[in-house]
Structures are given as C-alpha cells and as structure tokens.
Chain A
Amino acid sequence: MKLLGTATLALNRIWATKIRSLLTMLGVVIGVAAIVALTSIVDGASQGINKSLATLGTNQLNITAMAADSLTEQDAQELAALENVSVMFVQAQNQGTIATGDKRVNARLVGVSAKYFEAVKPEIALGSYLSSSSFAATAKDVVFGADAANDLGLTKAMLGQTVKLNGQDFRLVGVLDDQAGFGTSGRVYVPIDSARKLFSQYPYVSSIVIQANTAEQVDTLQLQADVLLRERYGLGAETTARYTITNQASLIAAVGSITATLGLLLTGIAAISLIVGGIGIMNIMLVSVRERTREIGVRRAIGAKQSNILTQFLIEAIVLSLAGGVVGLILGEIAAFFLAVIGDWVFSIRLDTVGLALGFSLLVGVVFGVWPARTAAKLEPIDALRFE
C-alpha cells in the first residue's frame, strides 16, 4: 500500500475516535504549551533586565564607593582624564524624604553631575531633564523617577510647582518614564551641588561612571581605572573595601548566562512533561493494538505486510503527537502573548521555539510509537484472527 493510503487509514482512525484521540494527545499538548510559555517568560525576563542594563550603557564602568568617604570628585576628574574616556559623571545618593502639601514618603535622593542625563538618556514622561540652568548655583530643580512620582501622586499640573526634599523647596521640572527599569525605583534626581546642601559632604561621591569610546576599550579602561585609584590611595591588591568597579557588559553577560541556565532548567521540566505525554500516547496505542488485534489479523489476511501494519500504527502515533504539538504550540503562544502584555515585554513568535516544539513532538511520536507499532506488526496472523 502506498504511504498516502496508509496515512489515510491512520487519520480515519484518529477522526473516528475523536474524543479519545484528544485525550491521548493531552499530555503532549500540555508539555509543548509549557515549553513555549516558559521559554517566552525567560525571554521576556532577560529582555527586561537587558533593557534596563543597556539603558545604562554597555561601554560603561561603574565605580562604586564602599564607604561615604571612599571616593571624591578629584578621583572622578582624574578618571575622566584617562585615555579613551568619552563621558564621565558622578552621583551622590542617600535616603531622604519627598513631600507635597500633605503627603510625605521616603525616596532615594540622587545628586548627579551635568553629564548624567546626556549619558543615560532615560525616557521622559513629563517636562524635561535637568537643564544647564538647573545646574546653576542658585537653581533648585528636581526630576522625579516614575515610582517616586507615583508614590506622591504627581500629575502634569504639578510641573513647575514646589515639592519638598528633606524639607527644602525644589521645583519639579520633569518626570521620567523609567518604570520598567531595574533598581531605579523611588528615585529623584537633583544637581549634585543641590545634593551637597541636602545630605552630601563635599568632595565625596557615592559613585563615578566613566564611559569608553568603544565597547572594545572597556576592559582596558577598567584596568587603567583600577590602577589609577589604587595608586592614588596607595592600596595593595585588596581594593574592595574602598571601591568596586563593575562593567555593564560583563553584567549583561552574567545575566545572560543566568537566564540561559534558568531557561534550560524550565525547558528540562517541560521536556519531562512531554515525555510523560509520550508515555501516555504509547499506553493508549498499546491498548489500541490489543483492541484491534482482530482488525490486524484481517488486514494481514487480505494482504497487508508487516511493514503496512507498522506504518499504519506509527503514523497514528506520530499524527497524535504532532497534532498535540501544534495545539500545544498555539496554546503556548497565546499564553505567551498574555504574559507579554502583563509583564510589559515584547511578544514575538520565535522560529526556533516553533521548530523545537514541533520537532520534539515529532520525536516523541516516533520514539513512543515504535514499540506499539512493532507489537502490532509482529502479531502472528493466525493468533490475531483467533483473538476474542
């Protein structure tokens, strides 16, 4: 019999026992849907983390002071003078309070130098960044992060109005749209000179950020910065008590490897459920072979070869598994879409996920279909015909 004819037999049988076929493929449906949805969660999560890391700039080195008096503006100036540094800015930050009229909440007050906004380029929701006039000695301007703005319930009408930081009056010039960001919650930004008056002692800074001209220069720059600071403070090998230097690119790589591991783990769990689904198919196929022993006997008697019987049952198992894979893929992508809406990341149908889902379900069909199909093919016609 031609392959097409055999395939028709398998499809007819699946169609004739619709409910049972659906239940049989359920395990694979769930397994594949889980793989697809979990893959998209891991994707989305790493997308979010990478986005917030990338907004900080991949050519960037963060030098963080480990104590309030570890690093100074002079350190920053010297670091800025290193070869290949394109931008430098400093931050001085501390816990404080922010308030309007009747409402007062805690926030992180961040003093930044003039280059901060130009280098980081955060999304702006209302108003503007701190401008050059904000950095004038007498100006007392503030830009709110999205969370801080939410905490106080700020509206567009508040732009240009007065808010209190640690009890002192500041003028609200802008609100950032940095909600999806990572570790930026509850922040407000003021010029570093204003920060000095609020909480920070001159000349100390809490962090210095330098940016290399190109990504290739980052590693060398990190080494040079480390040597420079070590010499300035006469430090030995042990520098972590005073400062740490982090490299955004290596952070992104680390996050990448964590999410890859996580993805592998979740896919592994989902793969186990797929295997369980395959065992379900094998189980039903074995029952089916037993129930259809007579039919197999009759088919052998009217001229079916062992290979015809083998193919018929194998195709049946593969179609069940593959159909389960397709249904699971559709359900998984629907779930992924809603997860993306909820988690606020970009939904996309990844071809490798589609290939993986279909490839796996095909494989499951073949692997778990072979035994029942062989059992059917190896039945002796005379025993099959006598079977009650």
Chain B
Amino acid sequence: MADEVVRLDKVRRDYLVGDQVTTALGGIDLVIERGEFVAIVGPSGSGKSTMMNLIGCLDRPTAGSVKIAGDSTNELNDNQLTSLRSKAIGFVFQQFQLLPNTTAIENVMAPLLYQGKNTKEAKRDATQMLTQLGLGDRLNFDRNRLSGGQQQRVAIARALVTSPDIVLADEPTGALDSKTGAAVIELLKDLHRDGRTVVLITHDLEIAASAPRRVFLRDGLIERDERGAK
C-alpha cells in the first residue's frame, strides 16, 4: 500500500472578513504520496497559499478533513498542531524569511531548538546541512551579507534540517533572478531524487513544468491533475 503523506477530503476554507465570506478553497480532494514532487499551480487568488497553510499545519479547514503524515489536523489543538508541523513540515518561503539579527547557522538551528534539541546537537546538524548545501564557509554570516540565492539556500537548509515528511515551497523563486531561480529548482529536484516529498507552489507554468505532477487550481477548485513529464 502506498504511503500517503497528505490527504485532503472535501476540504473547504472560508475566510470571514467583516460579514463578507470568501471561499478560498471550495471542496478539494487530493492525495500526495511519499516521495512525490508535486507542483500546485494557479493564478493569483486561486487558493494556493491557503492550500499550503492547510498542508503546512498552519491552519485548519472550515469543512472536510486534512490528514498529514497520518494525523488529522481538525482534532489537534494549537500545541499539537505545532508539534506536527515541527515534525512533518519544512517551509521554504518566497521572501526567504530568514530571522532578523540571526546568522545562517542560527537560522538553521532554530527548528531543532524548537524541537527541544540541545545547542550542541543543533549546531552539529545545522553545520552539516549548510555544508551539504555549499554554505559551509558562510555559517556565521547574517542575512545582510548573503546574496538572494544564498539566503534561499539557507532557508532550504532550515526546512530540511529536521528531516520533515514534506518540503513545502511557496513561490521559492519569486524573489530570485531566473538563473538563481533555476538553481533552486534544481536543488528541489535533487531533494526529490533523494526520496523526499516536495510540494512546490507557483503561478509560473514554466517552473511547474519541472515537476512530474502538476495540480492546477482555479477559483478554489482543482481544475486538472496532470502527471508525467511534459
């Protein structure tokens, strides 16, 4: 039997702003298996970030069920949801989102420390991860002294260091030039090749084409679910 890391059943997410209800996701069924590389593609406002938040255990659905690594997020309180997120998810954001006043290694250590690891272990693992991503000579640089591409690699190291079930990347190339962006996509492909589950969120069809599976969103619904290289 295949190992489902993500399972969405009739997932609905409504936002209430004032007395105005916006339906960001209107009933989504989606299964992602361990080791898949899936691109979630769609125009702005189609519900991609909302879906990322649900898969990333940052948010819970208004209706339907979200199962991540076997746990149903509906039934978890904030603390349990945080534990699940910490164990199962590694985030890569569009604007890198390195922590302020913090060096590369401190950024990568942070998720380990939040898991309760001691400083020594965290330092060892973070050093190893950064070195693996070619940043072994930049450990103590803070974000002002790193290029965009380097910052995004630190962010990827931070996402990977806890060995999460899923790497969730939301527009990871959005703030990079095309060459650096391409390198980041190559890096994600490498991760997939190493057996990791990667979910890439993008509005860019060309970037989406690099993923073997593409889920197209429009107005909060799945329009198409394509597999195979194009």
Contact = CB atoms under 8 A, between A and B. Distances in A.
A48 interface: no
Given A298-B99, A299-B110, A303-B82, 10 more contacts: A1-B116, A294-B97, A298-B97, A301-B93, A302-B158, A303-B110, A305-B79, A306-B78, A306-B82, A386-B49
Contacts of B53: 381-382
B42 interface: no
Contacts of A305: 78-79, 82-83, 114
Contacts of A294: 97
- Chain A CB count within 10 A is highest, among B49, B79, B114, B158, for B114
Given A295-B100, A302-B110, A303-B86, A382 B58 contact: yes
12 contacts: A1-B114, A13-B101, A298-B93, A301-B56, A301-B93, A302-B86, A303-B82, A306-B78, A306-B82, A308-B114, A381-B53, A382-B58
Contacts of A1: 113-114, 116
A300 B93 CA distance: 13
Contacts of A272: none
A2 interface: yes
Contact of A300 (B58, B100, B158): B58
Contacts of A308: 114
A381 B158 CA distance: 18
Nearest to B100: A295
B115 interface: yes
Contacts of B97: 294, 298
Interface residues of A, number: 23
A292 B100 CA distance: 9
Interface residues of B, number: 28
A16 B79 CA distance: 30
A139 interface: no
Interface of A: 1-2, 5, 12-13, 16, 292, 294-295, 298-306, 308, 381-382, 385-386
Interface in B77-91: 78-79, 82-83, 85-86, 91
Interface string B106-143: 00001101111011000000000000000000000000
A212 to B, nearest CB: 71
Interface in B49-66: 49, 53, 56, 58-59
A249 to B, nearest CB: 62
B207 to A, nearest CB: 21
Contact of B82 (A5, A292, A304): A304
Interface in B158-199: 158, 162
9 smallest CB-CB distances across A and B, nearest first, come from: A303-B86, A303-B114, A16-B101, A302-B111, A381-B58, A298-B97, A1-B113, A382-B59, A305-B82
B101 A300 contact: no
Nearest to B86: A303
A304 B114 contact: yes
A2 B116 contact: yes
Interface of B: 49, 53, 56, 58-59, 78-79, 82-83, 85-86, 91, 93, 97, 99-102, 110-111, 113-116, 118-119, 158, 162
Nearest to B49: A386
Contacts of B49: 386
A2 B113 contact: yes
A318 B136 CA distance: 36
B101 A12 contact: yes
Contact of A306 (B79, B93, B110): B79
B172 to A, nearest CB: 14
B101 A302 contact: no
Contacts of A12: 101-102
A298 B115 CA distance: 15
Nearest to A298: B97
- Chain A CB count within 10 A is highest, among B91, B100, B119, B158, for B100
A298 B97 CA distance: 7
Contacts of A301: 56, 58, 85, 91, 93
Nearest to B90: A302
Nearest to B101: A16
A308 B49 CA distance: 25
Contacts of B83: 305
A300 B119 CA distance: 19
Contacts of A295: 99-100
A161 to B, nearest CB: 78
Nearest to B110: A302
- Chain B CB count within 10 A is highest, among A12, A292, A382, for A382
B188 to A, nearest CB: 18
B46 to A, nearest CB: 16
Contact of A2 (B82, B86, B110, B118): B118
B42 to A, nearest CB: 17
A53 to B, nearest CB: 59
- Chain A CB count within 10 A is highest, among B82, B85, B111, for B82
B80 to A, nearest CB: 10
- Chain A CB count within 10 A is highest, among B86, B99, B102, B119, for B99
Nearest to B97: A298
Nearest to B56: A301
A77 to B, nearest CB: 86
